[in-house]
Structure 1
Amino acid sequence: MKLSLPLKLTAIATAVLTTTITFSSLKAAVIGEEPINQSEIVAVAAPFGSNKYSLVVVEQIPGQKQCWSEMGSQPTVVEPLWTTFDFTGHCRRATDANGYSVHLDGQDTSQDYLLDLVEKDGELQLVAMNFKDRSRTVVGKTFGLNQGKFLKVFLNPGWQFTKKTVDSKTVGHVYFSGDTAAIAAAGDTPPTPPPAAPRFSDTASDIYKDEIEQAVALGFIAGFQDKTFRPQDPLTREQLVSMVIGALGTIADLKIQLPAQAVMQPYPDVATSRWSAAKVQWAKDNQIVTGYPDGTFRPEKPVTRAELMAVLKRAAEFVRVERGLSPELATKPASTSFSDISTHWGRDLIAQMSGYCQVASPYNETGNAFNPDQASGRNYAAAATLRVHHCVADPTTQASH
C-alpha cells in the first residue's frame, strides 16, 4: 500500500522526533579522577632492545603476592617480580597509552600528550610531550642509569598517580596527574626520592636488613605472604641447597642445568618425590653438599653455621672450576680469629671463609665468637650467601695465589 504525501510527512516527522528523543536521552559520560595510595603503584623504565626503555606502570593489589621489590638509590633498581608468576589477581600492569595517560588540572588530557622516556644528563626522564605546540614537561626522573636493569621513575613535584573514574566509578586506567600551579611553584626543584618503605615488617632492626633486601631483590630467597621475613627462623639443609642454587643461577656467565626431577634418591631419606630432591641431587653430583656418616642427608634438619660455611665454600669453588680456574679461593682481607673454633671440625674452612669476602663473620656481627654449632638464622644465611655471590662476581677475587 502506498502512503499519501501527508501520511509520508507524518511518518518522517515521527521518526525524526523519536530519534531526537532517543539521542537527547543519552548523557555524556562524566570523566574524573580518584586519589590512590602512592606506595602501591610504581612507574618503571623497563629495558628492551639495545639500551632502550619503555614505560610500565605496575599497581600492587593489597594483600596479594608481592609484585616488585626495590634496591638501592640513584638509580633505584626495580626487581620485576610480576614477571616470575601469573600476576592475575595480584598486580595490575599497564604498558601503553591504553593503560595510562596525562591528566592536568582536573582535565583528561590523554589526547593532548604523549609520555616518553628520554635519556638526558646521565638519567632517564619521563617526558610529557604536547602534540599541539610540541612543548615538553618533565614528569619524573630515575636519578641515574643502570644498563639492562628495570629502574624506578620518581615523579616530580606537582605530579602524582590517580585513577580514572567514569560516572564516579573507578576504572583501571592510571593517570599521571599534574597540577600546573604546583609544577610552576616547584620550578627546577628535582623530585626527592622518599625513603623506601620497609619490605618486611620484622627486619627493620635486623643487623642484616640491607643484605636481606639485596638477597630478596636478586631472587634467591623470599619472604612470606604475611610480609614477614622471619629472620631468626632456622634454615633447613634442603632450604639451604635451594637458596645456594638460586644464587648461583643469578651469575651471568654460569649455566646451571637442573634435572626436571630426581631420577633416583640422592640420599636414603630424600625421596624422589620430595620438592627438593632434584636440587639435592644436583648439589650432591657437583660436590656442593655431602651427607652424614650414616649416609643420610636429613633435609629438614636446621643447618648449622659451620655447615653453612662448608656448603658456601664448595659453591664458590664450583664457580671457579666452571670458569676454568683452580678451586682455591683467594682470601682477603686477613682471616678473623674466632674464639670458639680451635677444636671444631670446621676450624680451617670457617677461618678461610672469614677471609673470603668476610662470608664467615662473628655471631650477629659483634664480638669474636662464631658459634659454629648454632643453627643459622635465615638472616645470616641470606647475608652469607649474598657475600659469596658478590665475591664470585668480583674479578679481583678470581685470581689464584
Structure 2
Amino acid sequence: MKLTLPIRLATLATLTLTSIFPLDSAKSAVSFDERVIDQSQVIAVARPYGSNKYDLLVIEQIPGKKQCWSESGANPVVVEPLLLKFDFTGHCRRATDSNGYSIRIDGRDYGLNYLLSVVPRNGELFLVGTPRTGGPEIVVARTRGLSQGFLKFVLEPGWQFSKRAFDGKELGHFYFSGNGEAIVAAGGSLPPNHTPAPAIAFTDIGNDIYKAEIEQAVAKGFIAGFKEDSTFRPEVALTREQLVSMIVDALKTVPETKVSVADRISENPYTDVDGSRWSAAKIQWAKKNQIVSGYPDGTFKPTKEVTRAELVAVLQKAAKYAQTQRGSSAQLPAKETPKTFSDTAGHWAETLVSQMSAYCQVASPVNEKGTAFAPNAPAFRNYAAAATLRMLNCVNSNPQQPTN
C-alpha cells in the first residue's frame, strides 16, 4: 500500500498519534510478515506543529530518485524535509500517522496495544510506545537534544526499521521493529508478558541439522519458506540469482551498512539478465559492489546452481563489504582455528574455505560431520541459510569503529 496523500501540518490536540487498526494484534502477527529495509534510506522525524508540539513523520528514500531530506548538526540532528518542496511521488515514501507505522517486537505486531507518541523530556524528545491499557512505556528512539525545526530520531539499541509484507510482497506500512533480547540487554522495556511469535512450523526441517539456524534466518527475513505447503525445502539447491537476493537482504540487516537497491532498472546487468527480471536490480547492485561477478562471455547464468565453494566465496565478499561499511578493516579476523578439509587441497577455493572456516564456521563440513567440505557439490538452502546467518553474526560481533 502506497501512501500518496499530501503531508498536512495540521495542529493536533495531543502528542499521541491515533488511528484505526483493521486487525487485532494476534491476527496481524500471523497474517503479516516483515522485511528489513536499508536503514540508511529511511528516517524517523519529530515534526513540529503548533506551539512547541511535535508529531512523528517517517520518510523513506527511493534509491536513485530526488533527495527527500538533508541532515545537519549533531545532538540533535536537524532535518530539512526536502520533499515538502516538490512533488515527491515516485521519489519518497512517507507515513504521517499510525495507519502507516506501528511497533513490532520479535515478530509480534503491537499496533493495537501501543500508540507511538512524541514526548519532550529532559531537554530532548523521546519516541515512546504508550500502552493503551496501562503498563510501562517502551522507549523506541530519542533526538539526543532539542532545537528548532524538524529533528531526527536516533533508534535505541535493539531497534531497526522494517516494512510490513504479505505473501512475499512488501507493503507500505513501516515497523519500528525491536529485538527483545537486545532491548533488554540495553536496559529497555518490553510489553508485559511478551513472548516472541512462534517460529514458522516448517514440516520438512524437524530432523535437519540446521533447523535452529534456518528458523533464525527466516526470522531475520533474508530467506523464506514456502507458505503454500509450509515447507522450507532444505535440500533444494540455491541458484545464482537466489544467492544474490539472499545476500543483499542479509546485508540490509547489518547496522550502518548501506545497501541501496533500486526498485527497478532499465539496463541489463548481464546479457542474460534482462532489466525487468525480478532479480536484476539486486544482481546489478551486487555486481557494482564486487560481491558477485559474471562469466567471460558476459553472462551471469542466473538459474545455474551454486556450489558450496561459490557460496562461501560470495559470503566472504559480503562480510568484507559489511565490515568496511562499518568502518573496520576488510580483513576478516579469525575467530577460531581454521579447519583442514579432506577434499579441498588444490581446489581454487582451498584458501578461502579454510579462512572462512575460522570466521565463525561459515565454511563447515557437509552436514556438520566428518572432514569433507564438498566444494563442488550444490549449496543447499539449509546450509546456505546457516552459513549466511553465521556470517552476519560474525560481522556483528566485531566492534564497530567510530565514523568521522
Match of 1:59 among 1, 26, 35: 26
Partner secondary structure for residue 262 of structure 2: coil
CA–CA distance in structure 1, aligned partners of residues 336 and 244 of structure 2:
27
Offset, 1:274:
0.4
Match of 2:343 among 340, 343, 367: 340
- Pick closer, same or farther for the CA change 1:341–1:231 going to 2, 3 Å: same
CA–CA distance in structure 1, aligned partners of residues 33 and 389 of structure 2:
22
Match of 2:220 among 215, 218, 221: 218
CA–CA distance in structure 2, aligned partners of residues 397 and 354 of structure 1:
22
The aligned residue for residue 133 of structure 2 is: 115
CA–CA distance in structure 1, aligned partners of residues 335 and 27 of structure 2:
43
TM-score normalized by the length of structure 1: 0.56
Q: Which runs of 5+ in 2 are unaligned?
A: 1-15, 17-22, 36-103, 116-131, 139-179
Offset, 1:384:
0.5
Q: How does 1:7-22 map to 2 (within 5 A)?
A: none
CA–CA distance in structure 1, aligned partners of residues 114 and 313 of structure 2:
49
Match of 2:377 among 355, 374, 389: 374
Looking at both structures, which has the greater relative contact order when contacts are Cα pairs under 8 Å and sequence separation is at least 6?
A: 2
Query: Which residue identity does 1:382 align to in structure 2?
Result: A
The aligned residue for residue 207 of structure 1 is: 209
Report the number of matched residues: 255
The aligned residue for residue 79 of structure 1 is: 107
The Cα offsets for residues 186-235 of structure 1, whole Å up to 9 and x where unpaired, read as: xxxxxxx8995662111121111111111111111111112211111111
Q: Give the alignment's Cα RMSD to 1 decimal.
A: 3.7
Matched-pair contact (CA < 8 Å) for 1:358–1:387: yes
Query: Which residue identity does 1:353 align to in structure 2?
Result: M
- Pick closer, same or farther for the CA change 1:343–1:149 going to 2, 3 Å: farther
Query: Which residue identity does 1:59 align to in structure 2?
Result: A
The aligned residue for residue 158 of structure 1 is: none
TM-score normalized by the length of structure 2: 0.55
Partner secondary structure for residue 117 of structure 1: coil
Bigger-Rg structure (1/2): 1
Offset, 1:151:
5.5
CA–CA distance in structure 2, aligned partners of residues 118 and 61 of structure 1:
22
Query: Which residue identity does 1:358 align to in structure 2?
Result: Q
The aligned residue for residue 286 of structure 1 is: 289
Matched-pair contact (CA < 8 Å) for 2:136–2:191: no
Matched-pair contact (CA < 8 Å) for 1:57–1:95: no
CA–CA distance in structure 1, aligned partners of residues 281 and 312 of structure 2:
22
The Cα offsets for residues 43-87 of structure 1, whole Å up to 9 and x where unpaired, read as: xxxxxx9xxxxxx9523489x855589xxxxxx96224x69xxxx
CA–CA distance in structure 1, aligned partners of residues 352 and 271 of structure 2:
27
Query: Which residue identity does 1:300 align to in structure 2?
Result: T
The Cα offsets for residues 336-379 of structure 1, whole Å up to 9 and x where unpaired, read as: 10000102111111111101111000000000100111111111
CA–CA distance in structure 1, aligned partners of residues 266 and 187 of structure 2:
37
CA–CA distance in structure 1, aligned partners of residues 348 and 400 of structure 2:
26
The aligned residue for residue 303 of structure 1 is: 306
The Cα offsets for residues 276-331 of structure 1, whole Å up to 9 and x where unpaired, read as: 00100000000000112333111111111100011000011111222343321111
Q: Which runs of 5+ in 1 are unaligned?
A: 1-48, 50-55, 70-75, 84-92, 98-113, 121-141, 156-192
How high is the sequence identity, in percent, across the aligned residues?
48
The aligned residue for residue 184 of structure 2 is: 145
CA–CA distance in structure 2, aligned partners of residues 148 and 392 of structure 1:
23
- Pick closer, same or farther for the CA change 1:258–1:61 going to 2, 3 Å: closer
CA–CA distance in structure 1, aligned partners of residues 225 and 264 of structure 2:
25
Matched-pair contact (CA < 8 Å) for 2:113–2:133: no
CA–CA distance in structure 2, aligned partners of residues 287 and 394 of structure 1:
23
CA–CA distance in structure 1, aligned partners of residues 300 and 196 of structure 2:
46
Matched-pair contact (CA < 8 Å) for 1:198–1:204: no
CA–CA distance in structure 2, aligned partners of residues 212 and 299 of structure 1:
23
Query: Which residue identity does 2:135 align to in structure 1?
Result: L
